[in-house]
Chain A
Amino acid sequence: DIQMTQSPSFVSASVGDRVTITCRASQGVDSWLAWYQQKPGKAPNLLIYVASSLQSGVPSRFSGSGSGTDFTLTISSLQPEDSATYYCQQAKSFPLTFGGGTKVVIK
């Protein structure tokens, strides 16, 4: 199975800050990686797929990059509504696996 490791597990940042979240795969997944945002009590929401493609309707301040084993989700200018937990997910092979999550809070 492919293990996904996210860091950091917690981020506290101010409105307008640039936030970067890292996801590392235990083996190469090419660009078969997605990012999700989950707010408390809600289902996750797809943000990014194929490592860097922005899902329709997602604000352009979100971006993804990387390939192989190392990936990054960047929020270019943090907004209050971005307070949430973010997960990466590999889609290279079954079983599908998620990272442990990164909780982003606003200072």
Chain B
Amino acid sequence: QVHLVESGGGVVQPGRSLRISCAASGSGFTFSYYGMHWVRQAPGKGLEWVAVMSDDGSNEYYADSVKGRFTISRDNSKNTVYLQMNSLRVEDTAVYYCAKDVNSGSPPSWFYSWGQGTLVTVSS
């Protein structure tokens, strides 16, 4: 069983930066075997995939809405994935979930386990 815990959310002004994290744990779970995603959900809205990084960090993909502003990274020694968010916009306001891929993260797949989410609010 995988346990994912996001942290680092909060209120930030438009144009500023924020980095959120997701720590993974679980017996029998080897973090470095799996791709890790970020998925977000604006208040009262549907799900939007944001980014993925493959198991070994060699591949990363982004939604067009965040490309060039957000960067996903991971530290397999710490079982942690990060999302660096720059040039934040009001429309980036959302709950950000990290999610574990079924496989390595590339090719595409689905989301096997999810964290509880961290709220990022972009407001002046």
**Interface status of B63 (Cβ within 8 A of chain A):** yes
Interface majority SS on A: helix, strand, loop or mixed?
Answer: loop
The answer for the CA separation of A83 and B53 in the assembled complex, in Å, is: 33
**Of the residues B64, B102, B109, B114, contact of A44 by C-beta under 8 Å:** B114
- Least Cβ–Cβ distance between B72 and chain A, in angstroms: 13
Residues of B within 8 A of A84 (CB): none
Residues of A within 8 A of B47 (CB): 36, 38, 44, 87, 89, 98, 101
* Best-buried of A87, A93, A96 by chain B (most CB within 10 Å): A96
Q: Are B49 and A97 in contact (CB under 8 A)?
A: yes
- Least Cβ–Cβ distance between B48 and chain A, in angstroms: 7
Residues of B within 8 A of A94 (CB): 52, 61, 108
Q: Are B114 and A96 in contact (CB under 8 A)?
A: no
Residues of B within 8 A of A42 (CB): 116
The answer for the CA separation of A96 and B117 in the assembled complex, in Å, is: 19
**Of the residues A32, A36, A38, A95, contact of B61 by C-beta under 8 Å:** A95
State how many residues of chain B have any CB contact under 8 Å with chain A. 21
Q: Are B48 and A98 in contact (CB under 8 A)?
A: yes
- A74-100 with Cβ < 8 A to chain B: 87, 89, 91-100
The answer for the CA separation of A1 and B61 in the assembled complex, in Å, is: 13
Residues of B within 8 A of A34 (CB): 110-111
Q: Are B115 and A43 in contact (CB under 8 A)?
A: yes
Q: Are A87 and B112 in contact (CB under 8 A)?
A: no
Residues of B within 8 A of A36 (CB): 47, 111
Residues of B within 8 A of A92 (CB): 108
Residues of B within 8 A of A49 (CB): 102, 110
Closest 5 interchain pairs by CB? A43-B114, A34-B110, A96-B49, A94-B61, A98-B47
A-B contact pairs, 13 of them (CB 8 A): A32-B108, A34-B110, A43-B97, A43-B115, A44-B111, A46-B110, A49-B110, A87-B46, A89-B110, A95-B61, A96-B49, A97-B49, A99-B46
